[in-house]
Structure 1
C-alpha cells in the first residue's frame, strides 16, 4: 500500500519511528491489556487520581450551589438561578485560560512539573472557598480553581496517550476519563454528608495536594516528549503559532474545539439539569424542599452518574472496535433522543430513577472520546497544547451556551422541561462537526 508522506495520520514506518516508549505492535490477539507494563498501569492510576479530584472540584459546586448561594445571597431565590449559571460560565472561562496556558507549558517544560502545578492550584483555591463569605470572592476562587482543572486534564490526557501502545490507547484513555465518575460520586456523597454546611465540602478539596508527592516520586517524562524536545530544542514546543497558523493543524484545532463545545455546553446546560428536573418533579408531587433537595442530589450524583460512568467506560472499547467518528455520532444521536424522554415521560420519582442512568449514559459517555481523540490529532511537540485548545477552548465556546441557558431557565414563561429539550438540539451540531474530521483508529500518534 502506498502511503501519502503528507498524511499526518498515515500508519507509521516502524523502522523510522522515533518513539521507543510506545510499541507499534499490531498483534490484536488477546485482551487489550495484555502486555501493559507495571509503569503504564501506574501512570494510568496517577492520571485517574488527578482527574477524580479535578472533577470533584468542579462537581462539588453543582451539588452544593443551592445551599451556598442561598446563604451568600441572603435567601434571594431569584438571584440564585442567575448566579448559578453565571458561576458555571466563570468556571468554564477559567478552565479555558488554564488549559491553554498549562497545556502549552507542558509541551515546553514537561508533563510532570506542570501536572504538579495544576494539582496544587486547584487544591489550594478550593480549600480557601471554606472561608469565603462574599459572592464575588467565591467567583474569583472558582475561576482560580478552574485554571488548575483545565490544565490538569490536558497534561494527564497527553501523558496517557504517550505512555500506552496504539493497541491499548483508546481503552486506557477511556478509563482515564471515565474515572471522573468517582469524582462525581465523591462530590455527591460529600454534599449529602455535609448537608447545608457546604463549606466543609470545599475544605476536602485540599486533599489532592497529597498527590504531588506521588507524582514527583513516580512519573517520568515520556520518551516521546524527551525525543521531540531534543530534536526541536524547545523552539516549537507548545507553540500556538504552529498550532493555529500551520494549515496541517489549525483546521483540526478549530473543529475539535467545536466538538468539545457541544459536549461541554450540553453537559452544563442539559446533563447537569438532571438534578433540577428531579427536584422540580418532586416539588410538583408535594415533597418538601429539603427532602426534594436530598433526593435530587442522590438521583443526580449517584443514580444518573452511575449511568454516565458506564457510558464513559463504554466509549473506549466502542471507539476501538468501530472507530472514533461512528462512536461520537452514535452517542450524540441517541443523546438527542433521550433528552425529551427524561424531560416529559417520568411521572414519579421511581420512574425518574429508571430513566436517569440511560440519560447519563448517553449524554455523558461521549466525553471519554475527547481524551481518546484529541491527543491523537496533534504531533508530540504541540500535543498537550492542541488537546487543551480543543477541550478547554470548547469550554470558552460553551460560555455563551451557559449564559443563554441561565437566561432561558430563569424565564417564568418557559418550563424547565422545554428549556432543556431545546438546548439538546446542540447535539446536531456535534454530529455535523465530527463528520468533517479524520478517523484515527489504529493509527500511531503523529510525530511531525
Structure 2
C-alpha cells in the first residue's frame, strides 16, 4: 500500500467517496434479490414477474449509465455523481411504499436509472482525479465495493428479518435505502471537480457532449471496439451467473448452491478478483490484463461443466471462477476512461460500458436456445467461449493506455495501436 501513502488528500477523498457510492449502490440493488422469496409469498406474484422487475432494473441501469455520462460531460463529474446518488436513494426509499406489482416495477426501474448512472459518473470522476500510475489500482478497488455492498445487503437482510415480520421487513430494508443520500453532503464539501482541459480548435467538433460525438471519425473505431469489449465482458458474466446454478443443480444435482457457504465464496471471490486485477493492470497493462482474465474465465467455465465433481470440489472451484469473472469489469473503468478525450469522456465511457449491458441480455437467451439441442453444460461452455473470445479479439485492436495522462488525450490518440 505504498502507493496509497503517496497520493494526495484530494485523491484519497475522491477514492473513498466513489467507493462508498458504489458499495451503497450494491446494497440497495442486491436487497431486491434477497427479498424475492418474501414478495412471492406476500403478494402472490410469480417468478416471471419477479424476473421482470430485475430485468427492468438492469435495462434502466444501462440507460442511466448512458445518460449520466452525457450529464457529466455537460455539468461536471461531481454534480452528475450527486444527482445519481440522490436518484437511486430516493427511488429505493419510495419502493418501500409500493402497494402492488405494477408500482414496484416502475419504482425499481427508476431506481435502476440511478444505479447505472452512479458507476459511470464515479468512474469518470475518479479516473480524472487519481494520478496515471495508480489509476488502475484505484479503479479496481472501487469496483470491489460492489462485493462489500453485496455482503452488507446479506447482513442487513439477516438482521432485519430476525426481528421484523416478513411482510414489513422488506419494506424496512428498502426504506433504509435512503441512507446513501447522505453521501451527497460529503461530496458537496470534500470532493473537488477535476479541472477541464482547454479544447483546441482542431478538436472543437468534439466539444459538445452529444451522443453522436463519440461516433466522430476520430474516435469511431474506439467506440465500436470498446462497445464490443463491453458486450463480451457483460455477456460472459450474465451467461455464467444466469445458467451455471441451474446447470449444477439440475444436471449435476449439487446441493451446495443454496448454502451460505457458497454465497460467501462467491462474494469473497468477487472482491479478491477486483483487488488482483487492480494490482495487475498497473503492472502488465490494461490490454494484457483483460485478455488474461478472459482466457482464464473460459478455461474455468469449461472445467466446471466438463469435469466430474461433487459439492466440495464445486465450492472450491467457485472461487477462481468468481475471481476471474470479476477481473474484467475491474479493468474496464480505467481502460474506457483512457480511450477518450476529456470533452466526451463521460459519454464514451457510459456508452461502451452500458451498450454492452444491453446487448449482453442476448447471451443467456442464446444459452437457453442452444440448450434445447445439446447438453446445457456444452451450451454454456460454447457461449462463454464466444463472449470472452470477443473480449480478447477486441482488446487486441486497442492501444495500450497504461500511465496515459488522460486530461490531455488527443482526439486522434485512440486510433494508434
Instruction: Report the TM-score range of the alignment, normalised by the length of the smaller protein.
Output: 0.7 to 0.9
Structure-2 change in CA distance of 1:208 and 1:408 (3 Å)? farther
Matching of residue 423 in structure 1 with residue 389 in structure 2: no
- Aligned twin of 2:8: 37
Distance verdict in 2 for CA 1:298–1:412, change over 3 Å: farther
**1:358 equivalenced with 2:320 (yes/no):** yes
Q: Tell me, which stretches of 5 or more residues in structure 1 are unaligned?
A: 1-29
For each residue in 1:345-384, what CA deviation from the matched residue of structure 2 results, as whole angstroms up to 9, or x when unmatched?
4744333321111110011221111111011011111111
Q: Do the aligned partners of residues 259 and 164 (structure 1) sit closer, same or farther apart at CA in structure 2, a change above 3 Å counting?
A: same
Q: Structure 1 pair 190/403, CA: closer, same or farther in 2 (3 Å)?
A: farther
2:187 matched to which residue of 1?
215
Over 3 Å counting, the alpha-carbon distance change for 1:206 and 1:104 in structure 2 is same
What's the TM-score once normalised by structure 1's chain length? 0.80
Pair 1:108–1:201, CA change in 2 (3 A): same
Using the alignment, how far apart are the partners of 1:431 and 1:259 within structure 2? 8
How far apart, in 2, do the equivalents of 1:184 and 1:156 lie?
18
TM-score (norm 2): 0.85
Residue in 2 that maps onto 1:107: 73
1:196-217 per-residue CA deviation (whole Å, 9 max, x = no partner) reads 6544433332221111111111
Distance in structure 1 (CA, Å) of the matches to 2:173 and 2:410: 43
Q: How far, CA to CA, are the matches of 1:339 and 1:310 in structure 2?
A: 18
- The answer to whether the 8 Å contact 1:309/1:365 transfers is no
The answer on whether the counterparts of 1:99 and 1:392 sit within 8 Å (CA) in structure 2 is yes
Task: After TM superposition, list the pairs within 5 Å mapping 1:66-215 onto structure 2.
Answer: 66-69=37-40, 71-74=42-45, 76=46, 80=47, 82-83=48-49, 85-194=51-160, 197-215=169-187
> Whole-Å Cα distance in 2 between the matches of residues 430 and 178 of structure 1?
21
3-state SS of 1:149 partner: helix
Give, in whole Å, the separation in 1 of the partners of 2:41 and 2:235. Answer: 25
Paired residues of 1:115 and 1:155 also in contact (CA < 8 A) = yes
Report if aligned partners of 1:89, 1:402 keep a CA contact under 8 Å in 2. no
Instruction: Work out the CA distance in 1 between the residues paired with 2:359 and 2:220.
Output: 17
Cα distance in 2 for residues equivalent to 1:222 and 1:159: 7
Counterpart in 1 of 2:415?
A: none
Residue 131 of structure 1 deviates from its aligned partner by: 2.8
- How far residue 151 of structure 1 moved from its aligned partner, in angstroms, is 1.2
CA distance in 2, matches of 1:383, 1:192: 40
* Structure 2 CA distance for partners of 1:132 and 1:347, relative to 1, 3 Å: farther
Q: Does residue 371 of structure 1 match 2:330?
A: no
Could you give the per-residue CA deviations for residues 239-272 of structure 1, whole angstroms, max 9, x where no partner exists? 323212x112122112212211222222233136
- Counterparts of 1:88 and 1:402 in 2: how far apart (Å)? 14
Which of 320, 342, 345 matches 1:383? 345
Query: Given that residues 408 and 414 in structure 1 are in contact (C-alpha distance below 8 angstroms), is that contact kept between their aligned partners in structure 2?
Result: no
Select 1:299's aligned residue among 246, 262, 266.
262
Distance in 1 (CA, whole Å) between partners of 2:78 and 2:242 is: 32
* Higher mean C-alpha displacement, 257-266 vs 229-238: 229-238
1:233 shift after superposition: 10
Counterpart for residue 23 of structure 1: none
Q: Give distance in 1, aligned partners of 2:378 and 2:99.
A: 35
Aligned length: 401
Q: Distance in 2 between matches of 1:278 and 1:201?
A: 31
1:272–1:306: structure 2 CA closer, same or farther, 3 Å change rule? Answer: farther
- Choose the corresponding residue for 2:229, options 256, 259, 266: 259
Query: Which one of the candidate residues 295, 300, 313 is aligned to 1:333?
Result: 295
Aligned-partner Cα distance in 1 for 2:380–2:104? 27
In 1, Cα distance between equivalents of 2:366 and 2:51: 9
Distance 1:70 1:367 in 2: 35
Rounded to whole Å, the distance in 2 between the matches of 1:402 and 1:186 is: 28
Cα distance in 2 for residues equivalent to 1:203 and 1:272: 28
In structure 2, how many angstroms separate the alpha carbons of the residues matched to 1:309 and 1:392?
22
* Cα distance, 1:61 vs structure 2: 3.1
Distance 1:48 1:128, change over 3 A: same
User: Aligned Cα RMSD in Å?
Assistant: 3.1
Gaps in structure 2 of 5+ consecutive residues: 412-417
State the alpha-carbon separation in 1 of the partners of residues 170 and 312 from structure 2: 28
SS in 1 for 2:96: helix
Deviation at 1:420, TM superposition (A): 3.7
